[in-house]
Structure 1
Amino acid sequence: MPKAYVFTRYGGPETEALMDVDRPRPGPGQILIAVRAAGVNPVDWKLRTGFRRPGESGEPVFPVVFGSEASGVVEEAGDGVTGFAAGDEVFGNVVAGGYAQYALLPAALTAHKPAAVPFTDAATLPVAAATAYDGLRQLDLPAGATVLVTGAGGGVGAAVLQIARAFGLRAVGVASGGKKDFVEGLGAVHVPSGPGWAERARAAAAGAADGVYDLVGGEVLKEAADLAADRTKLITAGAPESDVEALGGARVRRARTAAVLDALADLVARGALDPHVTATFPLERAAEALRTVEDGHARGKVVIEVAA
């Protein structure tokens, strides 16, 4: 039987296990892939604790397979699926977990992987990079405008900085002092986080920013709002919708389309976007991969590789 890394109930790491599971069968509109890589994201361990994504309802059926994004090779397509055939190399969001030897992907959220893009890179695009892309499209800033990014040193932040550059924007990234070289290496102006960051950011932006992309929330979001020249150009992926709406801004609206994935893969293939995969683990060491992200020690993206 194929293997998958799961959690068997809500709780901490003690609920996790590598288990034998049934091979999934694709339903209408779904694709079954042999997984080659799965991205590891903070939302993965948060879901294990009982966290619910906005709009989610109902109770999960345990065991739940970890993972929100994966790349691999098409094994079988369900009824109504067109444009995909067995042997195609693809990537996308998953129906029910990507830390596995086999996973189901909704065809509408699946894209063909360019040959120039490794499976490991492709597996990191559907969550963090797509969130970055969707937010920048939502801001809809003209070339030459300045975008301020809080939490710029994380996975989404690093993608925002690179995609902003590809869109012709000037990015100012707020991150810890230890990430100065990292942020500047992505083509952005670095602003050290911590007390007084807002004043430093205002100076770096030469006044108010044309757009603000917040990835932190809380007091940082409130201070960032004061740096936006136009509060309708304030967006967040780090705070609840009610918090940002009270400040005149909005949550990032996710497009969740294969077209976005195609655009991201093209950016990677052209060298305009580097997912910065800094650590890979085999499926048998999925617990270590998840701890690396959960403990906050990850720099760049962590990926689980699954042997062919």
Structure 2
Amino acid sequence: MSKAYVFTRNGGPEVEALVDRDRPVPGPGELLVAVRAAGVNPVDWKLRTGYSRPGSEPQPFPTAFGSEAAGVVEAVGPGAEGFAVGDEVFGNPVAGGYAEHTLLPVTVTAHKPAGLSFTDAAVLPVAAATAYDGVHQLGLAPGATLLVTGAGGGVGTAAVQIARHAGVHVIGAASAAKKDFVESLGAVHVASGAGLADRVRAAAPDGIDAVFDLVGGDTLREAATLLADPAALVSAGGKQLAAELGGAPVERARTAAVLDAVADLVVEGVLRTYVTRTVPLAGAGEALRAVEDGHALGKSVIEVTA
């Protein structure tokens, strides 16, 4: 048996539980991985409430939380080439990352560099990879100005750093409490909330060239008014609304090559993961609450004892 933190039906925190489940068996192209760390993301609690990704199939209950994990390969499924038992890896699990064991498909699994901890590797497959995809989708030239909404969260933190590394000037919208943190990333902080557009205009009198939105809703609507070209808007926070406004959702590559790229950025010291909270598997609910309230700073990680 293997422990996993699951939701037993759709609902609120009351449907969460730490349970014993059969150890997953790797199918074709899959790896059985002993989890050492799992990243916590907003999508985790959203799935619990009944949200489903476009094109996804309903999952049987109980469903384990977690869409990014790092660990050690314990078994290799048929056709899972390029990996062996004992390899240290990270990627997007298909059997939930909040667990002692999970399954990783080789298509979105990368070898963990020796200079990268399991804890840091576990926060790259969703947040950092989304940031990487979004920044590269915008394709801004050095010297351009980018507005990142939700700049103090997991994806925003990575997006600011990746854009700054590319020579892009960044305006980071976040709560007043995150001002010092956002500025430490190399961005100009503006307070989020009503009146955002006016504050951005004051901070960037020459205008902005693009928006990377991670919030959606009214924030996205207001940010879009700052653009001369609505196509220079990508969003991971309000995908449908972004399309309605003339922009686009972040186009996720979901490849091992992107995971390799963001891991290299961490090892090179370009990208810091800013893991601000770690909890054991039994404390997964605590980590989820911190993310669900919408005010988490940086990334939360569940660490699983070997």
Same fold (TM over 0.5): yes
**How far does the alpha carbon of each residue in 1:32-91 deviate from its partner, in whole angstroms, 9 at most, with x for none?**
11100000111111111111112224x321111111010001111111111111111110
Asked if the contact 1:282–1:306 (Cα under 8 Å) also holds between the matched residues in 2, the reply is yes
**How far does the alpha carbon of each residue in 1:99-143 deviate from its partner, in whole angstroms, 9 at most, with x for none?**
111110010100011111110010001111111111011101111
State the alpha-carbon separation in 2 of the partners of residues 258 and 150 from structure 1.
27
Secondary structure, aligned partner of 1:31: strand
- Which amino acid in structure 2 is aligned with residue 252 of structure 1? V
Which sections of structure 1, spanning at least 5 residues, go unmatched? Answer: none
Greater Cα shift, 205-214 or 75-84: 205-214
The TM-score normalised by the length of structure 2 is 0.97
- Are 1:251 and 2:270 matched, yes or no? no
Report how far residue 208 of structure 1 moved. 2.4
Aligned residue for 1:60? 59
- Which amino acid in structure 1 is aligned with residue 101 of structure 2? Y
Report how far residue 206 of structure 1 moved. 2.6
Aligned residue for 1:204? 203
State the alpha-carbon separation in 2 of the partners of residues 282 and 154 from structure 1.
21
- Which amino acid in structure 2 is aligned with residue 199 of structure 1? D
Report how far residue 297 of structure 1 moved. 4.7
Secondary structure, aligned partner of 1:207: coil
State the alpha-carbon separation in 1 of the partners of residues 222 and 12 from structure 2.
33
Asked if the contact 1:211–1:229 (Cα under 8 Å) also holds between the matched residues in 2, the reply is no
Report how far residue 229 of structure 1 moved. 3.2
Aligned residue for 2:259? 261
Secondary structure, aligned partner of 1:208: coil
Matches within 5 A, 1:64-83: 64-83=63-82
Q: What is the percent sequence identity of the aligned residues?
A: 67
Aligned residue for 2:300? 302
Greater Cα shift, 131-140 or 213-222: 213-222
- Which amino acid in structure 1 is aligned with residue 178 of structure 2? K
* Cα separation, partners in 2 of 1:296 and 1:239, compared to 1, 3 Å: closer
Asked if the contact 1:208–1:229 (Cα under 8 Å) also holds between the matched residues in 2, the reply is no
Which sections of structure 2, spanning at least 5 residues, go unmatched? Answer: none
Secondary structure, aligned partner of 1:256: coil
Greater Cα shift, 65-74 or 284-293: 284-293
- Which amino acid in structure 2 is aligned with residue 239 of structure 1? G
State the alpha-carbon separation in 1 of the partners of residues 276 and 286 from structure 2.
14
State the alpha-carbon separation in 1 of the partners of residues 94 and 237 from structure 2.
24
**How far does the alpha carbon of each residue in 1:235-286 deviate from its partner, in whole angstroms, 9 at most, with x for none?**
1111132x22222111111110011100100111111111111111111222
State the alpha-carbon separation in 1 of the partners of residues 176 and 15 from structure 2.
36
Secondary structure, aligned partner of 1:144: coil
State the alpha-carbon separation in 2 of the partners of residues 49 and 41 from structure 1.
14
Asked if the contact 2:4–2:100 (Cα under 8 Å) also holds between the matched residues in 1, the reply is yes
The TM-score normalised by the length of structure 1 is 0.96
Aligned residue for 2:179? 180
State the alpha-carbon separation in 1 of the partners of residues 295 and 229 from structure 2.
35
- Are 1:223 and 2:222 matched, yes or no? yes
Matches within 5 A, 1:1-308: 1-57=1-57, 59-241=58-240, 243-308=241-306
- Which amino acid in structure 1 is aligned with residue 8 of structure 2? T
State the alpha-carbon separation in 2 of the partners of residues 220 and 16 from structure 1.
31
Secondary structure, aligned partner of 1:27: coil
